[in-house]
Structure 1
């Protein structure tokens, strides 16, 4: 609640909005399109979600990721973590 430019009171409203992303990924998207969907699960940690999805696909398909790519991912994940905590 606001009085001019001063905030007098605020309510925290904890609620969950189901967006149906799982079903969308199962039925309407190809595996290569789900990466872009996983980026949008959260507005702060999109890279972490897309990395989790990509890693699960790589593990399921038996793909060996080069060590350099693993290190680049680790660095970017840490940068994103720092960004979300500062």
Structure 2
């Protein structure tokens, strides 16, 4: 659950800027993000690479590509 705790801290600090990008580089652990979708929630697995504070989204590096996930759509984060 360490990544879940780090991720929750990151979401809460998006507005305050408490966690900078160099801090994120320490946490290269695979996480699974459950994202809200109207029909059925989706799960994405990867490494969090960046946070866009203005657009409130997270860049998740997956095996073959990356996805930008809206912070407001995140339901759950697990390791």
TM-score (norm 1): 0.28
More helix by share: 1
Higher-Rg member (1/2):
1
More strand by share: 2
TM-score (norm 2): 0.30
